């Protein structure tokens, strides 16, 4: 029973928070991490640890080198990222950034393994929306990345620097059709 104590303590510590696995621009050192830093400073998020997906999932880049995790279990690689515990207020901010209400991404369950070896089954990640995920996988040549590194992100264009006049969904549709 003593071996269950750390897991039970961790569960209690994050009982009113949602565990969110970040794999792309929300990670430390990437363009959207300042939002996570702001959430940490306000008490709406805390870093849990480095993590990797428990199963293989495709991580691909879409238009403007935007990273997308695809809900196609068994394809791709185990993807490296970071796990955060987020309050409901923080989660609303992340949902807004990720365009959940606009069908850019969808927040779905994911199992991850923390660097120290603990399995976390109750986490969530932002996956490419199901309406275009398979098309992104085909467009990538059914090849993904085990990590969104700075080399993979090379050429990333921030939202404010992208062409205006088209929605992100329109940009995705153009990308997958070329």
- Establish whether 98 is a catalytic residue: yes
Res 3: pLDDT: 42
Residue where the block lists tokens 């006049």: 165
Is residue 8 in a domain? no
Query: Shortest CA distance to 67 belongs to which of 165, 174, 145?
Result: 145
Query: Shortest CA distance to 125 belongs to which of 175, 158, 91, 153?
Result: 91
Q: Is 165 left (phi over 0), alpha (psi -120 to 50) or beta?
A: left
Is residue 101 in a domain? yes
* Cα–Cα distance measured from residue 92 to residue 94, given in angstroms and rounded to the nearest whole number: 5
Is residue 6 in a domain? no
The alpha-helical segments, DSSP class H, found in the chain are 5-13, 33-41, 88-97, 133-139, 150-153, 168-177
Number of domains present in the structure of the chain:
1
DSSP tag of 47:
E
* Cα–Cα distance measured from residue 47 to residue 106, given in angstroms and rounded to the nearest whole number: 22
Which residues, including other chains, have CB under 8 Å from residue 106's CB and lie 6 or more apart? Answer: 100, 126, 127, 129, 130
Residue 126: band (very low, low, confident or very high) from pLDDT cuts 50, 70, 90: very high
Is residue 137 in a domain? yes
The mean predicted confidence, pLDDT, of the chain is: 92
Alpha carbon of residue 165 to chain centroid: 26
Res 13: pLDDT: 58
Q: What 3-state DSSP class applies to 3?
A: helix
What average pLDDT does the segment 153-166 reach?
Answer: 92
Tell how many helices (H) and how many strands (E) occur in the chain.
Answer: 6, 7
Res 4: pLDDT: 43
What average pLDDT does the segment 74-87 reach?
Answer: 97
Is residue 164 in a domain? no
Is residue 4 in a domain? no
> Does residue 131 surpass a pLDDT of 60?
yes
Is residue 123 in a domain? yes
Query: What's this model's pTM, rounded to 2 decimal places?
Result: 0.91
Range of the domain at 71: 14-146
Token pair, residue 171, equals 């940009």
Is residue 67 in a domain? yes
- CATH code of the domain covering residue 74: 3.10.490.10
Res 15: pLDDT: 64
Task: Answer for the pair 121, 19: CB distance below 8 angstroms, yes or no.
Answer: no
Out of 82, 98, 106, 147, pick the active-site residue.
98
């Amino acid at each position: 029973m003593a071996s269950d104590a750390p897991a039970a303590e961790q569960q209690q510590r994050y009982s009113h928070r949602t565990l969110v696995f970040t794999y792309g621009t929300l990670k430390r050192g990437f363009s959207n991490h300042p939002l996570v830093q702001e959430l940490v400073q306000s008490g709406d998020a805390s870093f849990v640890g480095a993590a990797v997906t428990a199963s293989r999932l495709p991580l691909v880049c879409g238009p403007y080198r935007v990273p997308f995790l695809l809900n196609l279990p068994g394809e791709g690689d185990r993807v490296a990222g970071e796990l955060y515990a987020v309050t409901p207020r923080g989660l609303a901010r992340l949902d807004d950034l990720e365009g959940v209400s606009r069908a850019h991404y969808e927040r779905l369950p994911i199992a991850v393994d923390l660097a120290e070896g603990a399995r976390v089954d109750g986490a969530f990640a932002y996956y490419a929306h199901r309406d275009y995920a398979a098309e992104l996988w085909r467009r990538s040549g059914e090849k993904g990345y085990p990590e969104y590194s700075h080399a993979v992100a090379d050429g990333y264009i921030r939202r404010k620097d992208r062409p205006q006049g088209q929605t992100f969904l329109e940009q995705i549709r153009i990308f997958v059709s070329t």
